[in-house]
Every structure is written in structure tokens, then in C-alpha cells.
């Protein structure tokens, strides 16, 4: 029931996703059953194509996440996470209230033992092809050096297992390439990452190199990462308004990525823009399945285990 065009866009996105999933995959639509069935009937789609989990309540985009999550236990977001907790679902994707999605992931899926703070990543298209992963892009505006260090571990695991990059290069977003540059946070994080055996650290990277091939993973606090992400989105919107057409710039369209996972929790939880379209939902659903099958969660649990000892 999440998103500006719900329930139609989520339902149609699920329909399109069927052609991109494995034959034995099953999609569960969580929300108001009557509204979901109306969408299916309108598109002449058999209702038994999906499982439907009844969720009579809806958490609005402007509601306080923690309050709404605790008071609306029968909304689609809490019930979606309950399906995962009960072992009846392997992944959960929503364009609903982002804060409620984060609260649900923390309280029902729980953080992976050893994780200090979960994070949200994003993919940045490279000019020469491929993608660079950047994290965090908004879940933690304030961070500590040890948190950024863990982001390096999380990002390296994601790049290796999901993006299939061998020995991914991890860089720290900074205002200069020199070791002594930056804020107290980035200087301390650099010292922690330098010489580590947990991932391949390649030093600092400047914002002008975001679209190049200097790193596979870029680590930063959520404040800086969100500014980077919003600036990229704003620049893409400006190009569209000016009528600039180029296949490379089309790769910055958010619909190509659908949603992004909450990394650091015991399960695959995907969040998306409230304005997500049908194609964005399709992409998010298929990506959720890809991340689940990659074994990323188990790998993160193994890599972070020593932090919980």
C-alpha cells in the first residue's frame, strides 16, 4: 500500500516482475485485499497469480515512524516484516514510509550481531560502464570512525557477492586524496582503514571522481552520502527538463534501480521512492530476489561475527 500510486503501481510492478523471477518464486502482496483484487481484475489477471496477505491499515508518509509502527500493527509494513520473521517470506520490498521500514527492520529483523548501525547504499553509474556502490546515503547522518569502517566491510561484501566484483576497491569520500585531509571523522576513519585485511582499502576519493573508475565502493556518513545522491538526482532531472538525451544519462533514472536494501539487518528489506512507478517496483522486486539468492546476509553475519565476541 506504499507509494503515491498505490496499490496500482505495486501490483502492476509485481505482475511485470513475474517474468524476471525463477519459476518457483512466489510474490506475496501485502495490503488491503479488496483494493488489490480490484487492480488484478481491472488488468484481467487471475487473483491466484499471487498470495494476498490482508493488511487493513496503512502507515502514511507523514506519520511518525516509531509511533505509527507501534500503533498500526495491521498495516502492510509491520505485517510484511512479520511474514519474514515467521519464515513465510524471504524478502520484503516497499515504497511506503521509509522511517517505518527502518524501524521494522531494526525491531523485527534485528541488526546482524556485531553491526553498530545498519546503512542504506546506492549505485552510481560509471562513465566507462558498471557501477560504484556508495554507502551510507541517509540512514545515519552522524557516524563514528568504527561505523565507517564497518561500512567498508559491508560495501565490500555487497560489491563482491551482488555486483560480482572480484576484490572490490574501497575508498573513503573526502575533500582531498591526502591522508591528513578532511574532518576529524574522515581522518580517524582513514587511520582505521589503512592497512586493514578486512577489505581492499585504496585511500581517499574526491567527489569529482564519483563517476570514474577509481573505486568500487565509496564510504561516507549518511549526511554526505544523501547530499551526493540528491545532487545526482537533481542533475538528472535538470537534464530531462533541458531535453538532453543520452543513453549514459538515462542510467541515472531512479526507475532503473527501483529500491535499495537496508544493509546490516538479518534479512533482505528493500525501500524505494514514494513516487515509484510500475517499472521501479518490478526492478525492486527482482533485485530483492537477487540479493537473497546471493547469500549476502549469511556472508555479512560471518564477516561481522568477531565484532560481537
pLDDT tens figures, 236-295: 989 999 999 888 888 888 767 778 999 999 999 999 887 788 988 999 999 999 999 999
How many residues are given for the chain? 309
The answer to whether residue 93 sits within a structural domain is yes
The answer to whether residue 301 sits within a structural domain is no
Neighbours of 18 (CB within 10 A): 17
The answer to whether residue 302 sits within a structural domain is no
Instruction: Quote the CA–CA distance of 99 and 2 in Å, as a whole number.
Output: 12
Tell whether 283 and 227 lie within a shared domain.
no
Tell whether 155 and 251 lie within a shared domain.
yes
Structural domain total, the chain: 2
Banded pLDDT at 16 (limits 50, 70, 90): very high
Tell whether 250 and 121 lie within a shared domain.
yes
pLDDT tens figures, 215-236: 999 999 999 999 999 999 899 9
Residue found by looking up cell 520484503 in the block: 92
Q: CA separation (Å) from 173 to 150, 215, 261? A: 15, 10, 21
Tell whether 99 and 16 lie within a shared domain.
yes
The answer to whether residue 143 sits within a structural domain is yes
Range(s) of the domain holding residue 18: 1-115+264-293
Tell whether 272 and 143 lie within a shared domain.
no
- So what's the pLDDT on residue 2? 84
The answer to whether residue 67 sits within a structural domain is yes
Among residues 232, 256, 280, the one where a domain terminates is 256
- So what's the pLDDT on residue 255? 67
Tell whether 123 and 164 lie within a shared domain.
yes
Tell whether 21 and 105 lie within a shared domain.
yes
Is residue 307 predicted with pLDDT exceeding 70?
yes
State mean pLDDT over 303-309. Answer: 85
Tell whether 197 and 166 lie within a shared domain.
yes
The answer to whether residue 309 sits within a structural domain is no
The answer to whether residue 304 sits within a structural domain is no
- So what's the pLDDT on residue 252? 84
Q: What is the CATH number of the domain that holds 1?
A: 3.40.718.10
Kindly state the helix (H) or strand (E) to which residue 203 belongs, with its residue range. Answer: strand 200-205
pTM: 0.92
In degrees rounded to 5, what are phi and psi of residue 57? -105, 160
Residues 6+ apart with CB under 8 A from 291: 91, 162, 261, 268, 270
User: Counting beta carbons within 10 angstroms of the beta carbon of residue 236, is it exposed (0 to 12), middle (13 to 18) or buried (19 or more)?
Assistant: middle
pLDDT tens figures, 82-117: 999 999 999 999 999 989 999 999 999 999 999 999
The answer to whether residue 43 sits within a structural domain is yes
Residue found by looking up cell 565476541 in the block: 309
Pure H helices in the chain: 8-17, 33-42, 65-71, 76-85, 98-104, 145-161, 184-193, 222-241, 247-250, 278-294, 296-303, 305-308
- So what's the pLDDT on residue 258? 76
Tell whether 97 and 3 lie within a shared domain.
yes
Banded pLDDT at 202 (limits 50, 70, 90): very high
Tell whether 282 and 205 lie within a shared domain.
no
Is residue 299 predicted with pLDDT exceeding 90?
yes
Please calculate the CA angle 104-110-114 and round it to the nearest 5 degrees: 145
- So what's the pLDDT on residue 6? 86
pLDDT tens figures, 120-169: 999 999 988 899 999 999 888 999 999 999 999 999 999 999 999 999 99
Tell whether 133 and 250 lie within a shared domain.
yes
Instruction: Quote the CA–CA distance of 190 and 238 in Å, as a whole number.
Output: 35
Tell whether 162 and 227 lie within a shared domain.
yes
Amino acid at each position: 500500500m506504499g507509494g503515491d500510486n498505490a496499490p496500482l503501481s505495486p501490483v502492476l510492478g509485481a505482475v511485470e516482475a513475474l517474468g524476471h523471477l525463477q519459476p518457483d518464486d512466489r510474490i506475496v502482496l501485502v495490503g488491503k485485499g479488496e483494493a488489490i483484487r480490484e487492480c488484478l481484475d481491472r488488468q484481467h489477471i487471475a487473483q491466484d497469480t499471487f498470495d494476498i496477505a490482508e493488511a487493513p491499515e496503512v502507515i502514511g508518509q507523514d506519520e511518525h515512524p516509531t509511533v505509527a509502527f507501534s500503533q498500526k500493527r495491521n498495516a502492510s509494513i509491520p505485517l510484511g516484516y512479520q511474514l519474514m520473521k515467521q519464515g513465510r517470506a524471504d524478502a520484503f520490498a516497499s515504497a511506503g514510509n521509509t522511517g517505518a521500514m527502518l524501524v521494522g527492520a531494526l525491531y523485527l529483523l534485528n541488526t546482524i550481531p556485531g553491526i553498530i548501525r545498519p546503512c542504506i547504499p546506492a549505485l552510481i553509474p560509471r562513465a566507462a560502464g558498471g557501477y560504484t556502490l556508495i554507502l551510507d546515503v541517509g540512514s545515519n547522518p552522524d557516524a563514528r570512525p568504527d561505523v565507517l569502517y564497518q561500512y567498508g566491510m559491508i560495501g565490500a561484501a555487497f560489491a563482491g557477492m551482488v555486483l560480482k566484483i572480484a576484490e572490490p576497491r574501497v575508498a573513503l569520500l573526502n575533500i582531498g586524496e591526502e591522508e591528513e585531509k578532511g574532518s576529524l571523522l574522515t581522518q580517524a576513519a582513514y587511520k582505521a582503514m589503512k592497512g586493514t585485511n578486512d577489505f581492499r582499502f585504496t585511500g581517499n576519493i574526491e567527489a569529482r571522481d564519483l563517476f570514474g573508475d577509481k573505486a568500487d565502493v565509496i564510504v561516507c556518513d549518511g549526511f554526505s552520502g544523501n547530499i551526493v545522491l540528491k545532487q545526482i538526482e537533481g542533475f538528472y532531472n535538470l537534464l530531462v527538463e533541458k531535453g538532453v538525451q543520452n543513453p549514459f544519462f538515462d542510467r541515472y533514472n531512479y526507475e532503473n534501480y527501483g529500491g535499495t536494501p537496508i544493509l546490516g539487518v538479518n534479512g533482505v528489506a528493500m525501500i524505494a521512492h514514494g513516487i515509484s512507478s510500475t517499472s521501479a517496483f518490478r526492478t525492486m522486486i527482482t533485485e530483492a530476489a537477487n540479493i537473497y539468492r546471493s547469500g549476502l546476509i549469511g556472508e555479512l553475519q560471518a564477516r561481522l561475527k568477531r565484532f560481537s565476541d
